Amino acid sequence: MTIGLERLELDKTPGGSVFRIVINGKLYKQDYDEMVPQLEWQIATTGRIHLLIELASFQGFTLGAVWEEILFAAKHYSDIGKLAVIGRGLPWERGLTALKSLFTRAQVRFFDSADQQSAEMWIGCVPVGRLVRYPVARLTPSDKGRQGLHSL
């Protein structure tokens, strides 16, 4: 069992800060423990951010991850400008995206993986410079002494 957060990147674009989040497998609470501080730091620094979420081979959430998602959504209801979800076009992926739109003021759209370029254009992902790239180690949730993402 691996952690689902594969990659977290931050791009500075003419339209603002865009976080690209690539998910493989199942999301765990530990994924949110690593991801949320980075998102919150950027929100505190620049205000509203945009999210481009790639569901490479997404397999769902653990209960702890669902709870962290609810907490993040409640706290940052107005802090996300646009949220693009790229997936395989499965009905449940589209359904989760539609459900997500109920918990944010962001403009939310689903894109099939074949339309990734359209998603990037919609969200304004025309980078003028990569600010930060966070490689995420493939570790199991039970690993002790994990090194988290470093704050900026």
Query: Which CATH superfamily does the domain covering 5-131 fall into?
Result: SpoIIaa-like domains (3.40.50.10600)
Sign of CA dihedral 35, 38, 96, 5: negative
CB-based contact 62:26 (threshold 8 Å): yes
The pLDDT profile of the chain, 152 residues, written as one tens digit per residue, is 456 788 888 887 777 889 999 999 899 999 999 999 999 999 998 889 999 999 988 888 999 999 999 999 999 999 999 999 999 999 999 999 999 999 899 999 999 999 998 999 899 876 544 444 444 433 333 433 333 333 33
In the chain, domain spans: 5-131
